A = this chain, B = another copy of it.
Amino acid sequence: MSTTFPRGFRAAGVTAGLKPSGKPDLALVVNDGPARTAAAVYTSNRCRAHPVIWSEQASADGRVAAVVLNSGGANCFTGPAGMTTVERTAEAVADGLNVAPGDVVVCSTGLIGVWEQQWEDALLGGIPPLLDSLAAAGGQAAAEAIMTTDTVPKTAQLELDGYRIGGMAKGAGMLAPGLATMLVVLTTDADLGADAGATDAALRHATARTFDRLDTDGCMSTNDTVVLMASGASGVTPELEAFAAAVEQVCADLAAQLHADAEGAKHDIVITTRGAASEEEAVTVSRAIARSALFKTAIFGEDPNWGRVLAQIGTTDATFSPDAIDIAINGVQLCRGGVPDEPPELVRFGRRVEVLVDLHAGEGEGTVLTSDLTHDYVEENSVYST
């Protein structure tokens, strides 16, 4: 299903030999039209990989025919040779599909700063078999070929009034093992017209409220890419607000799957701040808590240490009065009005941990998803590239 759930798409995943493990490492999603409307969102990191630099230009005109993705190498800070690899990759895919190279988006994930001729040879050598494998049922194979430290492929699909949305994602940390970039390809057979403005607005709205609020380890990748392609193959032109809501629903589904598969995590932490002066301030407070190494280690130890939550709230410039703050963990009101309330011993821990902060300063509410900081996280990220 995945990206080939909507009509008008084919996909494939093959082993090109980029990963030492010999697992699939090259994927392709093709929009066979009739429309090729698209929008994309890229990392805001100022140190960006060559594929991101290429793809931002390729997608700027709101038209994308195909997305080719590789794991086993981020192609970031690899010099002119790395940029040439991207161009050659787009050209090889474009030739095979009889489209323009400028309509091909390229995504890469893996270690930064690694490029060898042998690596380019393997990548380009994988493209003919990749093209040969393209199939209307290829979405699952594509989703598997983009995995790095992911333990499961992530896919989503949604059937609406006469049209469909599908998607796949990878990522097990925001940049987790020096790689682990988040890559997401979304497809729809809705007819969104040739003007990509509405597609772009729907995608940006959805990513801002889903992937942007997933913050497993505070690290921002050089390669993050989210692409949405619309084939128009359903012949149905959706009401735009409903379409945007549906895209957000699919993104939220994929974000939850990324969250559940975060590297080394033992607890999925859901931090909601309410009563903030604005939604933006609520997200700021939730994110500050999500980035505390001390809070994250406490949750690993199943210690409902609300002092560490409080200390993080205090580092923000959000509107609040310290003596009005409420903090609850898994439904136990540990702090009310800035003083201890229910005893920490009452807190029961499962895989899911819900932190609820009320600032009593307004109506804004925002949730950020994060993971605990565990021995497995340290292990996975300290031994990866050695």
Residues of A at the B interface (CB closer than 8 Å) are 45-48, 74, 76-79, 111-115, 173, 175-178, 217-222, 291-294, 297-298, 300-303, 305-308, 310-316, 320, 322, 325, 334-335, 338-340, 373-375, 377-379, 381-386
Inter-chain contact A217/B293, CB cutoff 8 Å: yes
Complex A-B, nearest 5 residue pairs according to Cβ-Cβ distance, in ascending order: A112-B307, A301-B382, A47-B314, A79-B339, A297-B381
Inter-chain contact B385/A305, CB cutoff 8 Å: yes
Inter-chain contact A340/B77, CB cutoff 8 Å: yes
User: For the complex, what is the distance from the CA of A217 to the CA of B76, rounded to whole Å?
Assistant: 28
Closest to A301 in B: B382
Q: List 24 A-B contacts (CB under 8 A).
A: A45-B315, A46-B320, A77-B338, A77-B340, A78-B340, A112-B306, A113-B340, A178-B307, A217-B294, A218-B292, A218-B293, A219-B292, A222-B311, A293-B377, A293-B381, A297-B378, A297-B381, A298-B384, A300-B378, A301-B381, A301-B386, A302-B386, A305-B384, A378-B378
Most buried by B among A77, A78, A320: A77
Closest to A384 in B: B303
Inter-chain contact B311/A219, CB cutoff 8 Å: yes
Total copies of this chain within the assembly: 2
Which among B48, B339, B383 is the interface contact of A301 at CB below 8 angstroms? Answer: B383
Residues of B within 8 Å of A217, CB to CB, are: 293-294
Closest to A315 in B: B220
Residues of B within 8 Å of A373, CB to CB, are: 293, 378
Inter-chain contact A377/B297, CB cutoff 8 Å: yes
Most buried by B among A47, A76, A340, A377: A47
The main secondary structure of chain A at its interface with chain B is loop
Residues of B within 8 Å of A176, CB to CB, are: 294
Supply 6 further A-B pairs (C-beta < 8 A) apart from A46-B320, A293-B293, A297-B382. A45-B311, A48-B322, A76-B307, A175-B308, A222-B311, A303-B385
Which among B47, B320, B339, B374 is the interface contact of A378 at CB below 8 angstroms? Answer: B374
Closest to A176 in B: B294
User: For the complex, what is the distance from the CA of A375 to the CA of B386, rounded to whole Å?
Assistant: 18
Task: Using A112-B307, A314-B222 as known contacts, say yes or no to A77 and B339 having CB atoms under 8 A apart.
Answer: yes
Which among B111, B301, B307 is the interface contact of A77 at CB below 8 angstroms? Answer: B307
* Chain B min CB distance to A357 (Å): 12
Task: Using A178-B298, A339-B78, A374-B378 as known contacts, say yes or no to A47 and B311 having CB atoms under 8 A apart.
Answer: yes
Residues of B within 8 Å of A111, CB to CB, are: 307
User: For the complex, what is the distance from the CA of A338 to the CA of B298, rounded to whole Å?
Assistant: 38
Closest to A305 in B: B178
Closest to A223 in B: B311
Residues of B within 8 Å of A384, CB to CB, are: 298, 301, 303, 305
* Chain B min CB distance to A159 (Å): 38
Task: Using A78-B339, A176-B294 as known contacts, say yes or no to A311 and B220 having CB atoms under 8 A apart.
Answer: yes
Inter-chain contact B291/A218, CB cutoff 8 Å: yes
Inter-chain contact B340/A79, CB cutoff 8 Å: yes
Residues of B within 8 Å of A219, CB to CB, are: 292-294, 308, 311-312
Most buried by B among A76, A293, A339: A293
User: For the complex, what is the distance from the CA of A51 to the CA of B339, rounded to whole Å?
Assistant: 15
* Chain B min CB distance to A333 (Å): 13
